[in-house]
């Protein structure tokens, strides 16, 4: 087995083009499990952990560019003094999702780029990225492009990357509205989601974003639920009044999210359970997000 | 390939390493450091936890080639000058070790927690140890050990934390 260890993005892209058989390796939390159990014997590994251009993040206008090599622990800020980072404050939904991943050891090593590379329907970043309307930045020796997250997941554990491409970053709009993420599993740590849901409310563009995990062959949005809620918020003047959400809107939103899922029965749960769980997760996270939106309004009113 | 890394402060070298093997395998089978344990090889149990450039990770999920040139500290590196680290001593005194298979990983995780936060809350302790499984103790003695270590560290060298 060959071990390729580029030290710059240019070298990494050249290696990717020259060795299409090489498996990119970031935190290794997915790849190494496959190697340890001999489920995979690639001819070469392409180590990305020495490529500085993939690390770090910066905010540019309303968009945050998160390097593919950014770890979950960097998103949560759990190792930072005070337990929070500027990145986590800018992207609270992603920080919440990152917080539920694996264990401290996994969060110290696993990356957002690796989550997208694996493209598992249970990947915890995905619902938030869908709800935020993020894009994936891909690069190759041919150039750079942005893939809208809606077009990124092409099948079970498949994504839209070309064989010579690497993920360089994720571009996440940060509108500053409320964001929530919740997932269901058997305990708090080390849990692959039985079902997960993210909601992002954008008060500026009056947009509602959603993302569902572990309940379809790929992570998906609940487009009809987004429309239903955006319609109700606009129709009743709720964006402006920040008044209480009618109970019926909350219930119907949950039902519409559940209807958008096409889950299967597996060892972690039945399709019926997942549908029911999603309705509950959607109603609950909407309640939390709306509570946050109202509280922010009161604070602004006082300020 | 040849792997050179600083392990517990000294330079270690291993030759003819298969690049896809894990850092855990390199430490145990090639560098003669069997302290870190192999119980699952899939990141679930934490018994292989080591510091990689100062950050606790599962050594079973780090490819050998990724560790080349890096700084590694294993459980063997926690004791200094022939004396156990207070976290290690507390595990013994609190009865937190039964079969001992989980202990090396828990020691590194607890060591890291107390280095970052000398007086962690109960929830913080549980969270910091959430990636480490123990099949023997039921965890209560382990939690006691971390509390004891925190108290002793707060009391300073020679203090008994009482
Ligand atoms: C014990 C355990 C618990 C876990 N819990 C969770 C969980 O709760 N939620 C969750 O979502 N995941 C979980 N995972 C899965 C895993 O940690 C995540 O998917 C993680 O984000 C993978 O990132 P990585 O950097 O480790 O990727 P790697 O394993 O290095 O790579 C993953 C895939 O992405 C590709 N890749 C990596 N970087 C790039 C890049 N820049 N460009 C192109 N392709 C790339 C690789 O070739 C590979 O196919 C868990 C894993 C373990 C072992
Ligand atoms: S052996 Fe590495 S986590 Fe279990
Ligand atoms: S003491 Fe036996 S596994 Fe923890």
Q: In CATH, what number is assigned to the domain containing residue B145?
A: 1.10.150.120
For A3, which residue in chain B has the nearest alpha carbon? B19
Residue B40: CB within 6 Å of ligand 3? no
For A218-240, the DSSP string reads: S-B--HHHHHHHHHHHHHTTHHH
Residues B9 and B66 in one domain: yes
**pLDDT less than 70: residues of chain A:** 303
Residues B74 and B120 in one domain: no
Please indicate, yes or no, if residue B130 is contained in any of the structural domains: yes
Burial of residue B84 (CB within 10 Å: 0-12, 13-18, 19+) is: middle
Residues B7 and B48 in one domain: yes
Residues B93 and B143 in one domain: yes
The answer to whether A189 contacts B58, with C-beta atoms less than 8 Å apart, is no
Residues B102 and B130 in one domain: yes
Residues B112 and B147 in one domain: yes
Please indicate, yes or no, if residue B129 is contained in any of the structural domains: yes
Q: Which of B46, B78, B110 delimits the end of a domain?
A: B78
Look at the domain A2-173 and name its fold: 3.30.465
pLDDT of B160 strictly over 60 = no
How far is the C-alpha of A83 from the C-alpha of B56, rounded, in Å? 17
Residues B74 and B102 in one domain: no
Residues in contact with A241: Cβ distance below 8 Å, sequence separation at least 6, in sequence order: none
Q: Which of B78, B105, B132 delimits the end of a domain?
A: B78
Please indicate, yes or no, if residue B161 is contained in any of the structural domains: no
Q: What is the CATH number of the domain that holds B63?
A: 3.10.20.30
Please indicate, yes or no, if residue B149 is contained in any of the structural domains: yes
Residues B73 and B100 in one domain: no
Of all atoms in ligand 1, which is nearest to the CA of residue A23? 47
Which candidate in A3, A42, A105 is best for mutational testing of the B interface (most B CBs within 10 A)?
A105
CA of A99 to the centre of ligand 2 (A): 20
Which superfamily does A179-302 belong to? Answer: CO dehydrogenase flavoprotein, C-terminal domain (3.30.390.50)
Q: Would an 8 Å CB–CB cutoff place B117 in contact with chain A? A: no
Please indicate, yes or no, if residue B139 is contained in any of the structural domains: yes
Residue B38: CB within 6 Å of ligand 2? yes
Residues in contact with A301: Cβ distance below 8 Å, sequence separation at least 6, in sequence order: none
Please give, rounded to a whole number of angstroms, the shortest distance from the CA of A77 to a CA of chain B. 13
Residues in contact with A258: Cβ distance below 8 Å, sequence separation at least 6, in sequence order: A275, A276, A278, A279, A282
Protein residue with its CA nearest to atom 3 in ligand 2: B43
Burial of residue B42 (CB within 10 Å: 0-12, 13-18, 19+) is: middle
Return the closest-CA partner of residue B67 out of B10, B128, B24: B24
Of all atoms in ligand 2, which is nearest to the CA of residue B38? 1
Residues B8 and B71 in one domain: yes
Residues in chain B within 8 Å Cβ distance of A47:
63, 65-66
Please indicate, yes or no, if residue B141 is contained in any of the structural domains: yes
- What count of CB pairs under 8 Å joins A to B? 92
pLDDT of residue A61: 87
Q: What is the domain partition of chain A in residue ranges?
A: 2-173, 179-302
How far is the C-alpha of B58 from the C-alpha of A127, rounded, in Å? 26
Point out the residue among B42, B57, B131 whose CB comes nearest to the CB of A189. B131
For A92-146, the DSSP string reads: HHHHHHHHTSS-HHHHHH-BHHHHHHHT-TT-SHHHHHHHHT-EEEEEETTEEEE
Please indicate, yes or no, if residue B160 is contained in any of the structural domains: no
Residues B90 and B151 in one domain: yes
pLDDT of residue B158: 57
Residues in contact with B64: Cβ distance below 8 Å, sequence separation at least 6, in sequence order: B1, B3, B14, B17, B18, B19, B20, B21, B22, B23, B25, B26
Q: What tens digit of pLDDT does each residue of B54-86 get?
A: 999 999 999 999 999 999 999 999 998 889 999
**Full domain range(s) for residue B126:** 86-155
Return the closest-CA partner of residue A262 out of A253, A244, A274, A245: A274
Residue B141: CB within 6 Å of ligand 3? no
Please indicate, yes or no, if residue B111 is contained in any of the structural domains: yes
How far is the C-alpha of A30 from the C-alpha of A116, rounded, in Å? 11
Q: What is the b/e burial string over A179-195, where b = at least 16 CB atoms within 10 angstroms of the residue's CB?
A: bbbbbbbeeebbbbbbb
For B17-74, the DSSP string reads: --TTSBHHHIIIIISS-TTS--S-SSSSS-TTEEEETTEEEEGGGSBHHHHTT-EEE-
Q: What tens digit of pLDDT does each residue of B11-55 get?
A: 999 999 999 999 999 999 999 999 999 999 999 999 999 999 999
Residues B60 and B118 in one domain: no
The answer to whether B55 contacts A29, with C-beta atoms less than 8 Å apart, is no
pLDDT of B162 strictly over 50 = no
Residues pairing with A196 in the sheet: A183, A213
Residues in chain A within 8 Å Cβ distance of B1:
3
CA of B141 to the centre of ligand 1 (A): 33
Residue B99: CB within 6 Å of ligand 3? yes
Query: Whole-angstrom distance between the N-terminal and C-terminal Cα of chain B?
Result: 52
The two three-digit tokens of residue A286, written as one number: 């909407």
Q: Which of B57, B78, B99 delimits the end of a domain?
A: B78
Residue A302's region, left for phi above 0, alpha for psi from -120 to 50, else beta, is alpha
Structural domains in chain B (count): 2
How far is the C-alpha of A138 from the C-alpha of A230, rounded, in Å? 31
Residues B105 and B147 in one domain: yes
């Amino acid at each position: 087995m060959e071990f390729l260890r580029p030290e710059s993005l240019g070298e990494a892209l050249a290696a990717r083009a020259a060795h299409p058989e090489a498996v990119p390796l970031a935190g290794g939390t997915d790849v190494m499990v496959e190697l340890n159990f001999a489920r995979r014997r690639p001819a070469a590994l392409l180590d990305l952990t020495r490529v500085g251009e993939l690390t770090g993040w910066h905010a540019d206008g309303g968009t945050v560019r998160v390097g593919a090599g950014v770890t979950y622990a960097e998103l949560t800020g759990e190792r930072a003094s005070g337990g929070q980072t500027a990145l986590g404050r800018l992207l609270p939904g992603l920080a919440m999702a990152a917080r539920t991943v694996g264990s401290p050891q996994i969060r110290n090593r696993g990356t957002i780029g690796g989550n997208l590379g694996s493209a598992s329907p249970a990947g915890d970043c995905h619902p938030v990225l869908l709800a935020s309307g993020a894009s994936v930045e891909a690069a190759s020796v041919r150039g750079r492009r942005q893939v809208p997250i809606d077009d990124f997941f092409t099948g079970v554990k498949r994504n839209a990357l070309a064989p010579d491409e690497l993920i360089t970053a994720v571009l996440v709009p940060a509108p500053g509205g409320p964001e929530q993420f919740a997932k269901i599993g058997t305990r708090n740590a080390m849990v692959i989601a039985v079902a997960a849901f993210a909601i992002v409310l954008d008060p500026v563009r009056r947009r509602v974003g959603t993302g569902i995990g572990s309940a379809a062959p790929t992570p998906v949005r609940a487009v009809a639920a987004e429309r239903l809620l955006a319609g109700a918020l606009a129709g009743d003047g709720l964006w402006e009044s920040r008044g209480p959400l009618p109970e019926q809107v909350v219930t119907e939103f949950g039902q519409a999210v559940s209807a958008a899922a096409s889950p299967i029965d597996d060892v972690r749960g039945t399709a019926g359970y997942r549908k029911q769980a999603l309705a509950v997760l959607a109603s609950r996270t909407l309640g939390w997000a709306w509570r946050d939106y109202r509280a922010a309004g009161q604070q602004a009113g006082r300020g | 390939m040849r792997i050179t890394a600083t392990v517990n402060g000294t330079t270690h070298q291993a030759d003819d390493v298969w690049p896809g093997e894990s850092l855990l395998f390199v430490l145990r089978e090639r560098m003669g450091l069997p302290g870190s344990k192999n119980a699952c090889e899939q990141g679930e149990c934490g018994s292989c936890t080591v510091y990689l450039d100062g950050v606790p990770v599962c050594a079973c999920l780090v490819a050998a080639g990724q560790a080349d040139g890096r700084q590694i500290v294993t459980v063997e590196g926690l004791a200094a000058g022939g004396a156990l680290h207070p976290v290690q001593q507390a595990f013994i005194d609190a009865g937190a070790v039964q079969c001992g298979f989980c202990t090396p990983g828990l020691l590194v995780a607890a060591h890291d927690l107390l280095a970052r936060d000398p007086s962690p809350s109960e929830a913080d302790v549980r969270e910091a140890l959430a990636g480490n499984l123990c099949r023997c103790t039921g965890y209560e003695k382990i939690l006691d050990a971390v509390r004891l270590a925190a108290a002793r560290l707060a009391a300073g060298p020679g203090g008994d934390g009482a």
